[in-house]
Amino acid sequence: MVDRSLVQQLLERLQESGRSVEEVCAEHPELVHEVRRQWRLLKNVQADLDALFPMAGPVDTEPAAARDSVLAQVPGYVIEREIGRGGIGVVYRAFQERLQRHVALKMMLPGSLASRQEVLWFQREAERVAQLRHPSIVPIYEVGDVGGRPYYTMELVDGPTLAERVHGGPMPPQAAAELVATLAAAVGFAHQHGIVHGDLKPASIMFPADGTPRISDFGLARRVGMQAAGRAGVIGPASDIHALGAILYVLLTGVAPIEVEATGPSRVNPRIPRDLETICLQCLRREPHRRYASAALLAADLQRFARGEPVAARRITAFERLWKWLRRRSSR
């Protein structure tokens, strides 16, 4: 019988280390096939999620009505142009006539969801997210259905994403800590309302003209990822905290975290303060229970760092590192 808990640990290690399936499963060769199968499922879901919430792409000059006659009939909206498209979803810049404002309109493509039950889940989840009111969460305005295809409208943020901003290299530590503290506070607010993001990354963080970071696509990735992994505990608050740690790592180093326990951010950028590195590494612990217990606690620790106060996070001790090494050796 396959040890599901061990398979999940190997999948997390595979995702965080960047190594091959064979390397990750070196101590458990009997699980190579199962880990490879589960990894393929997760990658397929990630591709679907990226398609469902695509990054803004080049402006499409072709009229929307010519691309999709159904969209031209969305009541109360004038579709202006497509701003993003993936395998199962499309995003339009639209004008809401009643309130005289521009919005982003996201709609499922035909046949993109497996069943009517999934369509209903998407609508209910979007309605839940629409109840969130936080300055760093992009608000959802309206949830609807046209021609059997669910859609929702949200604030149109014309500014760049965090993914576009980090191309310039590492951010000053103080600025990085303050930015991630703001994001963690928003994530903690959503968690308090029972909503997990599930796919937090630099591309889902946008900056409007006022410079306030806004997190988009809150909560709408959660169920899909849970189904693909075959268990309900894969995506949850701890995964959002890990994602915040990965974002902090990128902001401090300019590169994505790979095998973090062996390569802390200060090895990439020696100018990173020790306390800030400790906060980052606690978010990125392999064991979810050893990360911050909540996003609110992470935000508080980052705020303490920003104020020059002692932080609550603690580094892995030499004894802990030795214990981990002995456990790996004994399992061979």
Q: How far apart are CA 35 and CA 139, in angstroms?
A: 37
210 is catalytic: no
Buried b or exposed e, range 226-265, using 16+ CB within 10 angstroms: bebbeeeebbebbbbbbbbbbbbbbbbbeeebeebeeebb
**Which amino acid does the sequence have at 191?**
H
Q: How far apart are CA 223 and CA 88, in angstroms?
A: 16
> What backbone torsions phi and psi does residue 102 show, to the nearest 5 degrees?
-90, 145
Q: How far apart are CA 195 and CA 172, in angstroms?
A: 31
The three-point CA angle 264-214-192 to 5° equals 80
48, 199, 240, 275: the catalytic one is: 199
Q: Exposure of 79 by Cβ count < 10 A (0-12 exposed, 13-18 middle, 19+ buried)?
A: buried
**Which amino acid does the sequence have at 28?**
H
Unique residue bearing structure tokens 């809401």: 96
| Residues taking part in catalysis | 199
